[in-house]
Structure 1
């Protein structure tokens, strides 16, 4: 059988400073994601497929076997009834909309979803939850421990505790209905959420040294079976 096709989301940026061509290219935009996502997917036996935001979500998930929601800037606070503050990073409403559509399409088709950092926040908001606008104590902490709920997918991957990297300044506040908290930081901050076929983490497994990380092995292993 061919390797499962894993749809990987990314971000859109100005090309200025990111190319070696003539200055006229500065006016263009690029779609990109950090290479660790694809590296871990491929190492786990999946075939990573970068999905630009201009694609039809249903058509993508008709072909893909699983979805990976990657990290990035803040989810638009307007999506959960909040107002941006001084700490809010550059917003990408078009990315929010595209990823919410991909998430819905994946769930409708029974495709497993792994959501990382911004991804866990987007999942919670898309399902009706809210976010903390700024968590300075987490933004300034590079590593910390998390406690994992017994019986959860994450506990099955890591045991009841793990040491993770912390690269976020926002986080889950009110947890959406239908999502179970399966990982917490020592201060009680939500670090993992799960639902049937969905695992979301606040940390960045794609940046850790052991390749592939267990979350990616779970995603590829759970991917919807494709044609022979």
Structure 2
């Protein structure tokens, strides 16, 4: 049991990067995740468990998710456009095949089980593509500006408005100021998804969700960059607590 005992925090699995990294004298392939994600889960009431990319497969994903009560698909490199039937744009990152395959496998199992899922930035795009949707590969080509990703690791603040009646609106209210760093965004929606927030000025899709009882919410922005507002993390943790309780009842 992973969060079902009285007084225990639910365990939230977070996907990680897999790429070259430097630390001290070492320059190696590494699995890592910015600590602010972990802090967001902890402050939201959960216990974080990192889920590094590894050879994917349904059986492996099933076994890994046996140990967690909720899943966060985190930010990172662009999704391989071949997975949604497009050629790679010059501005699109080199594919991160192992990570894409791992996250698609985890997501498929989580959705089938009814496990709570939160997608963050890349995570929103993974969810959309996994359900048959497509992406705008380079927003400046569509919008004529770079406001959503200014570069040099500087987050921009976007005003987003939520769609009334959605789970996201219930969590964060009618509007929010979101920390954004993305040059891609959702184009055609994946099967079953609904738009739950858009950028106020240009209409870019900033959040999607699956309607119904299961908590499946994905935002194009980075809530971990605003830890004075824990509503998304807390919402996921609350759903994970209920999921853990139902799983052992």
Same fold (TM over 0.5): yes
User: 2:207 matched to which residue of 1?
Assistant: 192
User: 1:201 matched to which residue of 2?
Assistant: 219
Aligned to 1:63, the other structure's residue is in SS state: coil
Matches of 2:52 and 2:20, distance apart in 1? 15
Matches of 2:65 and 2:112, distance apart in 1? 9
Aligned to 2:23, the other structure's residue is in SS state: coil
Match for residue 89 of structure 1 among 89, 93, 107 = 93
Aligned to 2:100, the other structure's residue is in SS state: helix
User: 1:113 matched to which residue of 2?
Assistant: 117
1:182 aligns with 2:200: no
Match for residue 142 of structure 1 among 134, 156, 161 = 156
TM-score with structure 2 setting the length: 0.84
1:103-131 CA distance string (max 9 Å, x none): 01111221100000000001000000000
User: 1:53 matched to which residue of 2?
Assistant: 53
Aligned to 1:139, the other structure's residue is in SS state: coil
> What is the CA distance between 1:209 and its match in structure 2?
3.8
User: 1:216 matched to which residue of 2?
Assistant: 233
> What is the CA distance between 1:161 and its match in structure 2?
1.1
Question: Counterparts in 2 of 1:11-22, with a 5 A limit?
Answer: 11-15=17-21, 18-21=22-25
> What is the CA distance between 1:90 and its match in structure 2?
2.9
Q: Could you list the runs of 4 or more consecutive aligned residues of structure 1 that deviate by over 4 angstroms after TM superposition?
A: none
> What is the CA distance between 1:162 and its match in structure 2?
1.0
User: 1:153 matched to which residue of 2?
Assistant: 167
User: 1:3 matched to which residue of 2?
Assistant: 9
Matches of 2:178 and 2:73, distance apart in 1? 18
Show structure 1 runs of 5+ residues with no match. none
1:120-157 CA distance string (max 9 Å, x none): 00100000000001012322381111110111121112
> What is the CA distance between 1:50 and its match in structure 2?
0.3
Matches of 2:76 and 2:203, distance apart in 1? 23
TM-score with structure 1 setting the length: 0.92
> What is the CA distance between 1:200 and its match in structure 2?
0.2
Instruction: Note if contact 1:62-1:109 (Cα within 8 Å) is conserved in structure 2.
Output: no
